[in-house]
Amino acid sequence: MLTDTHCHLADQPLFDDLPGVLERARNAGVKAMVVPSSSMGDWERVASLARRPGITAAFGVHPWNAREGVDLPSLRNRLAEAVALGEVGLDWKVDVPRNIQMDCLEAQLILARELGLPVLLHCRGAFNELLELLKAHPPKGAVIHAFSRGPELMRRFLEQGCHIGFGGAVTRAGAGNARASVVEVPEDRFVLETDAPWIGVEGGPSEPSSLPRVAGTVAFLRGVSRKRVEAASSESADRLGLL
């Protein structure tokens, strides 16, 4: 069984072609999908997606949208129907003041901890700051999604109890750091994702039906069967409570 632990079905072009996207995912063996949200404005759409079988939801405010702030009482209500809080995190490569991003993330980490929910984390260029916040407010579980860095940084997130999310980036032959992490990650500490439509696979765009490409690459790099990789990822997703 294949689980796409991070796909943005509420975003275009996926949302307008939902029946096709879901059929192709089914045909590719993708049985479960976790749909994170990015801003308060897409919570309703994500909630409606999660009423379909095989789809679960996460709610939160992404660092790119941190300026809008977080309505914590509304988020708390939404999270009653969610498997995780997300997508949240820190991104030093966008023009959103760092203190605003940190405040936005910290408030959401405190809520996730209080509710006992795992968090789906986005991070670019802010790894030290993210690790500090995770140490201060350790969540019940966490996925550092679209991980593309090397084993040294990966180990620091593993020590913090995080799972590592691998996606389309690892299908690129030039992704040496990410591929080294794929080889080293413990079998019970990674999950697979596409991050569709935002991260493509080698040679083109992605949707959840691209997940076998990611699973195949991970299996090849680890020298094990694709079935074993798919099972390990799905078991971790289940243990985290994402299914």
Q: Which residues bind Zn ion (CB under 5 A)?
A: 87, 195
**Amino acid residing at 69:** G
Question: Which one, 87 or 230, has the nearer CB to Zn ion?
Answer: 87
The alpha carbon dihedral of 141, 144, 149, 153 has a sign of negative
181 — phi, psi (to 5°)?
-65, -40
Question: Which one, 4 or 195, has the nearer CB to Zn ion?
Answer: 195
Summary count for the chain: helices (H), strands (E): 9, 8
- Judged on CB neighbours under 10 Å (0-12, 13-18, 19+), 30 is buried
For the chain, the 3-state helix, strand and coil shares in percent, each to the nearest 5, are 50, 15, 35
Q: At closest approach, how far in Å is the CB of 178 from Zn ion?
A: 16
Question: Which one, 201 or 219, has the nearer CB to Zn ion?
Answer: 201
Strands 163-166 and 55-59: unpaired
Question: Which one, 60 or 141, has the nearer CB to Zn ion?
Answer: 60
Q: At closest approach, how far in Å is the CB of 177 from Zn ion?
A: 20
Q: At closest approach, how far in Å is the CB of 223 from Zn ion?
A: 29
Encoded tokens for 242: 């994402």
Cα 67 from chain centre: 21
Q: At closest approach, how far in Å is the CB of 87 from Zn ion?
A: 5
Question: Which one, 90 or 219, has the nearer CB to Zn ion?
Answer: 90
Q: At closest approach, how far in Å is the CB of 228 from Zn ion?
A: 26
Q: At closest approach, how far in Å is the CB of 120 from Zn ion?
A: 8
The span from the CA of 42 to the CA of 39, in Å, is 6
Question: Which one, 195 or 230, has the nearer CB to Zn ion?
Answer: 195
The span from the CA of 18 to the CA of 16, in Å, is 6
Encoded tokens for 141: 């579980």
